[in-house]
């Protein structure tokens, strides 16, 4: 007969928080081509002091900073994308703090050329 062992008091604390999973997309209810969202889709993840920077194909018009995007959360920002960025996509770099210190990552906003060649099943 199999039985589940209840967690010891330290077991729950020893599991590290997962890394965030970032996505950038256009805001549905914002101004088309100017309002964007940065989403962290991972529950329990820790992301504080989040900052987004774009490549040369976007000019971010506001702070691009959020105090806390931990867990499943969304932050909004404004930007102007170049015509090349709309066609080929825009690459963003992110920095944030988790429980262990500063982290960095990248996220990509797909361009029209990339969307055209994406296989849909």
| Contact in structure between 89 and 111 (CB atoms under 8 Å) | yes
* CA-closest candidate to residue 108, choices 84, 85, 82: 85
Pairing mode, if any, of strands 35-40 and 73-81? antiparallel
* CA-closest candidate to residue 115, choices 79, 86, 77: 86
What is the C-alpha separation between 59 and 33, in angstroms, rounded?
12
pLDDT one digit per residue (tens) for the chain, 121 residues: 445 555 555 555 678 999 999 999 999 998 888 999 999 999 999 999 999 999 999 999 999 999 999 999 999 999 999 999 999 999 999 999 999 999 999 999 999 877 655 444 4
């Amino acid at each position: 007969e199999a039985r589940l062992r209840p967690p010891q008091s330290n077991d729950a604390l020893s599991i590290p928080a997962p890394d965030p999973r970032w996505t950038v997309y256009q805001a549905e209810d914002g101004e088309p081509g100017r309002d964007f969202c940065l989403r962290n889709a991972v529950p329990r993840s820790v992301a504080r002091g989040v900052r987004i920077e774009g490549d040369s194909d976007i000019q971010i018009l506001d702070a691009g900073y959020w105090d806390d995007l931990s867990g499943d959360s969304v932050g909004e920002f404004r930007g102007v994308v170049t015509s090349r960025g709309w066609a080929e996509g825009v690459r963003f770099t992110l920095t944030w703090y988790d429980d262990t210190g500063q982290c960095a990552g990248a996220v990509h906003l797909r361009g029209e050329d990339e969307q055209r060649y994406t296989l849909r099943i």
